[in-house]
Amino acid sequence: MTDMKPDMQRILANEAEAGNLTYFAFVKPQPAPPAVARPRGKGRNRGRKRCNPKPAASAPLGTLPLLLAGRYRLERLLGAGGMGTVYRARDLLHEQFGDPDPYIALKVLSEEFSESPDAGLVLYSEFALTRRLRHPNIVRLHSFEVDAQRQCAFITMELMHGLTLDKLLCEHPTGLPWTALQDVVVPLLDALAYSHGRGVLHGDLKPSNVILGEEGVRLFDFGLGQAEAGVLPGLPHLSRSRFNAWTLGYAAPELLEGGALSAAADLYAVACVIFELACGKHPFRGLPSTQARDQRLERTLQAPKHLPGRCWPALRSALAFNVEERSGGLQALREAMGTQPSWMSRWMSRCRR
């Protein structure tokens, strides 16, 4: 992470001091215990939203055995989402051969979802889609395996250390400064563009599915992802919409109305994330996009304070409720966020301060 700009390095250093936080792929954070009420302070920290620094690592293991496939020893529950549960595990085979870091993340389907007749196919589909992606800003999966004795399928993947963007926003409620924002957004857009180029749609882009860690930005959780037509033709096409698992605040209107997942839907979701990172607030107050559209909240949208003016047209287009109005596409947003201002525009910006 040596190429990251000073603003982002300082943010990570400050967050590291707050606690040794580790977050993992394919998992929603466990609910934090209620915070103890404190007197309201004065100055810049008054009313500031803060996250509880304690990770969910102390949660019990649940009903799974301590050892899966005779190789992976589960150590602790890291978190559980609607479809999956993720554990920290130790790879005993690697440990036996002297691997100094035999720790992995291991995902199984949640107990409730595992009763579905095609649950195993859903988990394998997630693995097959993500395995196609070899990019420095996308999570790395290791294997798909089955404990035959217990009839339990699971995925093994890298253990990721760092902060998910929702936790980062808790500590920066007014958004990130421009240089830090760029450090996060540009690699995120590169990862998404690469994924689309490989024919893989994400389906669940939101702050808690992006991590900022020791190796930079990493996109994860393709559990609601789908392959585009002609990609992985042998893979069963499973409709995620029937699981009712879309994240309402980031799912495009067409998804909530039963439409198919598309690159344009991913674009809408990542635009919501970028807007939130730029000002600390969701563009439509976190409402489902269909409800925000009905209330015509797009009329109240204003360029975030930390976003250069040249970036706003592309971001505003990506936030359109009408899929046909997201005409600029991911490339236009990437170009806007990645370009550096000219000497003249930087000089004019300083004069306006």
The CATH number for 74's domain is 3.30.200.20
Note whether residue 12 is domain-resident: no
Note whether residue 142 is domain-resident: yes
**CA pair distance 282, 175, nearest whole angstrom:** 11
**Exposure string over 167-188, b if 16+ CB within 10 A, otherwise e:** bbbbbbeebbbbebbbbbbebb
Quick one: pLDDT at residue 19? 41
- Among 140, 157, 174, the domain-final residue is 157
How many angstroms separate the Cα of 282 from the Cα of each of 91, 130, 148? 40, 28, 45
Q: Could you tell me if 311 and 286 lie in one domain? A: yes
Q: Could you tell me if 69 and 207 lie in one domain? A: no
What's the structural domain count of the chain?
2
Q: Could you tell me if 93 and 125 lie in one domain? A: yes
Note whether residue 329 is domain-resident: yes
pLDDT digits (tens, 9 = 90+) for 126-145: 999 999 999 999 999 999 99
Indicate the Cα dihedral angle 108, 165, 204, 154, nearest 10°: -10
pLDDT digits (tens, 9 = 90+) for 101-120: 999 999 998 877 777 767 78
Burial class of residue 30, CB neighbours in 10 A (0-12, 13-18, 19+): middle
Quick one: pLDDT at residue 26? 36
How many angstroms separate the Cα of 113 from the Cα of each of 128, 221, 225, 244? 19, 16, 17, 12
Note whether residue 174 is domain-resident: yes
Question: 318 near 336, Cβ under 8 Å?
Answer: no
Residue 239 has a CB neighbour count (10 Å cut-off) of 10
Quick one: pLDDT at residue 39? 40
**CA pair distance 205, 119, nearest whole angstrom:** 22
Of residues 215 and 265, more confidence is placed in: 265
Q: Could you tell me if 209 and 153 lie in one domain? A: no
Q: Could you tell me if 111 and 167 lie in one domain? A: no
Q: Could you tell me if 206 and 117 lie in one domain? A: no
Quick one: pLDDT at residue 45? 41
Note whether residue 150 is domain-resident: yes
Burial class of residue 46, CB neighbours in 10 A (0-12, 13-18, 19+): exposed
The band of 319, judged by pLDDT with boundaries at 50, 70 and 90, is very high
pLDDT at residue 56 above 80? no
Q: Could you tell me if 107 and 191 lie in one domain? A: no
Quick one: pLDDT at residue 292? 98
pLDDT at residue 203 above 90? yes
- Among 157, 172, 196, the domain-final residue is 157
| Active centre residues (catalytic) | 204
Q: Could you tell me if 198 and 308 lie in one domain? A: yes
Note whether residue 10 is domain-resident: no
Note whether residue 9 is domain-resident: no
Q: Could you tell me if 304 and 220 lie in one domain? A: yes
| pTM for this predicted structure | 0.80
The band of 235, judged by pLDDT with boundaries at 50, 70 and 90, is confident
- In total, the chain counts a number of residues equal to 353
**CA pair distance 74, 91, nearest whole angstrom:** 9
Note whether residue 310 is domain-resident: yes
Mean pLDDT of the chain: 82
pLDDT digits (tens, 9 = 90+) for 321-335: 999 999 889 999 999
Q: Could you tell me if 78 and 205 lie in one domain? A: no
What is the domain extent for residue 84?
18-32+51-157
Quick one: pLDDT at residue 83? 77
Q: Where are the beta strands (DSSP E) in the chain?
A: 67-68, 72-80, 84-91, 103-109, 141-147, 152-157, 162-164, 200-201, 210-213, 216-219, 226-227
The CATH number for 252's domain is 1.10.510.10
Average pLDDT, stretch 211-236? Answer: 88
Read off the tokens for 51: 């996250």
- Among 103, 129, 157, the domain-final residue is 157
Q: Could you tell me if 253 and 279 lie in one domain? A: yes
Q: Could you tell me if 201 and 227 lie in one domain? A: yes
Quick one: pLDDT at residue 13? 54
Of residues 78 and 254, more confidence is placed in: 254
Quick one: pLDDT at residue 4? 54
pLDDT at residue 21 above 70? no
pLDDT digits (tens, 9 = 90+) for 248-290: 999 999 999 999 999 999 999 999 999 999 999 999 999 999 9
> Which residue is associated with the tokens 């400050």?
14
